[in-house]
Chain A
Amino acid sequence: MSDPLMPELPSAGGGTIAPRQPTDWTTDAMRQRIRKRYARERRFRRLGLVAVVMSAAFLAFLLVTMASQGLGGFFRTEVALPIDFPQTGIEVDKAALDQPGADLALAGAGLENIVGSAAIAAFGDYGPNVISDNAWLTVREAIKHDPSILDGRAVIHVPASAEIDRAISETGTPEAEAAVTKLQAENAITEGFNWRFLSASDSTDPTQVGIWGALKGSFFTMLVTFLIAFPVGVLAAIYLEEYAPKNRWTDLVEVSINNLAAVPSIIFGLLGLAVFLGTWTLFGHKVGPLLPRSAALVGGLTLALMIMPVIVIASRNAIKAVPPSIRDAALGIGASKVQVVFHHVLPLALPGILTGTIIGMARALGETAPLLLVGMRAFIATPPDSLTDKATVLPVQIFLWSDEVSRGFVEKTSAAIIVLLVFLLAMNAVAIYLRNKFETRW
């Protein structure tokens, strides 16, 4: 009987099956094969180990050089400078000191020269080289803080010059070495944490520079990037995964997005330059530039274009990973499409979306090239106060400092790199934490 639903088994009547021959596992060929297999396993393991050791060595080398060069940047050498104010004949109206014009009043009183003379009085002819050129700024702050010191003799800790700094950390000029020996004997040298490095902005004097301006610029830029790239990227991913019909056009969009994620960042810089800062002639009228140059707004928009594909891809994968049975369950009790997405799919996909976003943001935070193109390489001595102020960002600041000839900038460059690395590591740590904490369990 032939039933189409019950295929017949092949009948075993065709020929006689030879009796079973036991395998000999001890022949030479067999032994050799086993030896070969073991050798291959060992070789592979060694190669893997070499690869890991090499990458670890590179990483260690990077960290050690950065730390050894850069940690000094977080500390500064201070010299105790005694100043006998009545003797210097300084004339300042004390009443003016708590008013906005205080800086001007003190500058008019010749504070810079007074500090220079005090240094000569205290440390001899080499004195002015012991203290930083900007030491008088510290003195000015001290006077503003407590005007009563003008009435007598005060000891003020002012930053040491770059020469003295170098004489302490390595070997400096003979004069500087001699001055250090003398100062140390007098206990006039102290090492302190360089708060200025975190609170000041760019300067031409390496002892005065800080990263606050660049950090603020980075913060504003990242803010713009996040506010644009996150919602647009996630909405695009939701649309592509949940709403778009699967046809040739969506395939094309998918391929384009994947390609965009691989486009070199400098190209996005050119795009930002052309779109946000370019000028066009429309109907005989000159239009543009749309946005101000060098501003965090432009940099943020440019970086948003750059990381949007990354966010879209990560979000699509996270949304795809939500089991279809959850969608069915919600649809089955009469949830609308939007309710399914916002009540069920997004909450479950959010950890993956956030992880992808943070990784994209970390990439944006470390980006230099596109920002150079939109003019964020300006010398910024005052931190930006708004999204449209001229600003720079941490990696660009590092790039600019690394280009400086003055020796003092080497240390500051490495110190700024350390700060950048700390931020990047922190962001990646948060991403890993999120991934592990919300790893889907059902």
Chain B
Amino acid sequence: MNDLTDTTLAQTAREHADMADSAAPVKMAARDVHVYYGETHAIKGVSIDIDMDHVTAFIGPSGCGKSTFLRTLNRMNDTIAAARVEGQITLDGEDIYASGMDVVQLRARVGMVFQKPNPFPKSIYENVAYGPRIHGLAASKSDMDAIVERSLRRAGLWDEVKDRLTDSGTAMSGGQQQRLCIARAIAVDPEVILMDEPCSALDPIATAKIEELIHELRGNYAIVIVTHNMQQAARVSQRTAFFHLGNLVEYGVTSDIFTNPREDKTKDYITGRYG
């Protein structure tokens, strides 16, 4: 039974390994990163390179620190009073925790999609236009219209909503809401997109749409996706990082991780022994 799962996963990973270029340039790099929540040591010395134009999946059992580490990449941890980050994280070689770093700009460059779809209780148009507006990315109304349309098209949502852009963003299905959140994130033209279990609140059909979308976005953005679903990691990612109890146990090309894990813990986890 375990072997069967393993083989299927490995096969999936190999089938999707087409784009995996093992010598891609590095977009973000973390070196010996520790995160503490008060006394809790949630991330214990993680070093990892996030490659440009690839999808990186973070997998691991609940509470192992995937979300925590993801949130260090755009400094969303700053909003948690108890959280403390140590170590170095760079974006294009620039230390994002340096004192001169503008967090607002950083978060525009490193966008984020959350676990639960969280559109603003405003119109669909406003949801997408909000980011470009506060960053001054559109010079005119027609510019803004173009940005909104382009973002919704990229998020695969345009055809479904083009006739009701003034409807509330909260009055859509969960899957549509999540794609709206992705459109909102790409409207500010980020370089990296972080997704924290973007499909965990969605049904299988909506999940499939999001996965398809990630496929299409890959190549333009560095995407990091946290997922609980091994199949999903195998399907959408070219890099996989396995976290366990705050440690990065293994990191590598997805097809390698799923066919030939170096660590026993990784093997146990992806064959469904725990998690």
Residues of A within 8 A of B (CB): 3, 5-6, 245-246, 323, 325-336, 339, 343-344, 348, 440-442
- The answer to whether A246 touches B170 (Cβ under 8 A) is no
Residues of B within 8 Å of A333, CB to CB, are 107-108, 111-112, 130-131, 134, 184-185, 187-188
Cβ of B50 to closest chain A Cβ, rounded Å: 17
Please tell me which stretch of B23-31, B51-59, B116-124, B203-211 contacts chain A, meaning at least 4 of its Cβ atoms lie within 8 angstroms of it.
B116-124
- The answer to whether A329 touches B181 (Cβ under 8 A) is yes
- The answer to whether B185 touches A245 (Cβ under 8 A) is no
Nearest B residue (CB) for A247: B81
Residues of A within 8 Å of B113, CB to CB, are 332
Residues of A within 8 Å of B170, CB to CB, are 441-442
Cβ of B178 to closest chain A Cβ, rounded Å: 12
Bound Cα distance from A327 to B114, whole angstroms: 12
Residue interface mask B95-112, A partner, CB < 8 A = 1 = 000000000111110011
Q: Within the complex, which residue of A332, A343, A440 is in contact with B112, where a contact is CB–CB below 8 Å?
A: A332
Query: 15 A–B contact pairs at CB < 8 A?
Result: A3-B273, A326-B118, A328-B76, A329-B118, A331-B107, A332-B74, A333-B111, A333-B112, A333-B185, A334-B108, A335-B104, A335-B130, A335-B131, A440-B121, A442-B121
- The answer to whether B120 touches A246 (Cβ under 8 A) is no
Residues of A within 8 Å of B74, CB to CB, are 332
Cβ of B83 to closest chain A Cβ, rounded Å: 13
- The answer to whether A332 touches B111 (Cβ under 8 A) is yes
- The answer to whether B118 touches A325 (Cβ under 8 A) is yes
- The answer to whether B130 touches A348 (Cβ under 8 A) is no
- The answer to whether A329 touches B76 (Cβ under 8 A) is no
Nearest B residue (CB) for A5: B274
Residues of B within 8 Å of A440, CB to CB, are 121
Residues of A within 8 Å of B104, CB to CB, are 334-336
Nearest A residue (CB) for B170: A442
Residues of B within 8 Å of A336, CB to CB, are 104, 134
- The answer to whether B131 touches A331 (Cβ under 8 A) is no
- The answer to whether B121 touches A332 (Cβ under 8 A) is no
- The answer to whether B81 touches A334 (Cβ under 8 A) is no
Residue interface mask B136-162, A partner, CB < 8 A = 1 = 000000000000000000000000000
Residues of A within 8 Å of B105, CB to CB, are 334
Bound Cα distance from A327 to B107, whole angstroms: 13
Cβ of A354 to closest chain B Cβ, rounded Å: 17
Residues of B within 8 Å of A323, CB to CB, are 118
**With A333-B111, A334-B134 given, is the CB distance from A325 to B274 under 8 Å?**
no
Residues of A within 8 Å of B131, CB to CB, are 333-335
Cβ of B192 to closest chain A Cβ, rounded Å: 12
Residues of B within 8 Å of A329, CB to CB, are 114, 118-120, 181, 184
Cβ of B102 to closest chain A Cβ, rounded Å: 9
**With A245-B81, A325-B116, A442-B170 given, is the CB distance from A332 to B274 under 8 Å?**
no
Bound Cα distance from A336 to B104, whole angstroms: 6
Nearest B residue (CB) for A6: B274
Bound Cα distance from A330 to B122, whole angstroms: 12
Q: B252 interface residue, CB < 8 Å from A?
A: no
**With A3-B274, A325-B116, A334-B104 given, is the CB distance from A339 to B134 under 8 Å?**
yes
- The answer to whether A334 touches B135 (Cβ under 8 A) is yes
Q: Which of A3, A6, A334 has the most CB of B within 10 A?
A: A334
- Pick the 4 closest A-B CB pairs, nearest first: A334-B108, A325-B118, A332-B112, A5-B274
Bound Cα distance from A323 to B81, whole angstroms: 17
Residues of A within 8 Å of B114, CB to CB, are 325, 328-329, 332
Residue interface mask B154-198, A partner, CB < 8 A = 1 = 000000000000000010000000000100110110000000000
Q: B61 interface residue, CB < 8 Å from A?
A: yes
**With A333-B108, A333-B188 given, is the CB distance from A326 to B120 under 8 Å?**
yes
- The answer to whether B111 touches A5 (Cβ under 8 A) is no
Q: B2 interface residue, CB < 8 Å from A?
A: no
Q: B79 interface residue, CB < 8 Å from A?
A: yes
Bound Cα distance from A409 to B20, whole angstroms: 93
- The answer to whether B121 touches A348 (Cβ under 8 A) is yes
Cβ of A320 to closest chain B Cβ, rounded Å: 15
Residues of A within 8 Å of B116, CB to CB, are 325
Bound Cα distance from A442 to B275, whole angstroms: 32
Bound Cα distance from A343 to B184, whole angstroms: 16
Bound Cα distance from A329 to B76, whole angstroms: 11
Cβ of A68 to closest chain B Cβ, rounded Å: 49
Bound Cα distance from A339 to B118, whole angstroms: 17
Bound Cα distance from A348 to B134, whole angstroms: 19
Cβ of B271 to closest chain A Cβ, rounded Å: 13
Residues of A within 8 Å of B112, CB to CB, are 328, 332-333
Residues of B within 8 Å of A245, CB to CB, are 81
Cβ of B232 to closest chain A Cβ, rounded Å: 21
Q: Within the complex, which residue of B61, B120, B274, B275 is in contact with A330, where a contact is CB–CB below 8 Å?
A: B120
Nearest B residue (CB) for A339: B134
Cβ of A389 to closest chain B Cβ, rounded Å: 46
- The answer to whether A328 touches B118 (Cβ under 8 A) is yes
Residue interface mask B42-80, A partner, CB < 8 A = 1 = 000000000000000000010000000000001010010
Residues of A within 8 Å of B188, CB to CB, are 333-334
Nearest B residue (CB) for A327: B79
Bound Cα distance from A339 to B136, whole angstroms: 14
Residues of A within 8 Å of B181, CB to CB, are 329
Cβ of B89 to closest chain A Cβ, rounded Å: 17
Nearest A residue (CB) for B273: A3
Residues of B within 8 Å of A331, CB to CB, are 76, 79, 107
Residues of A within 8 Å of B106, CB to CB, are 334
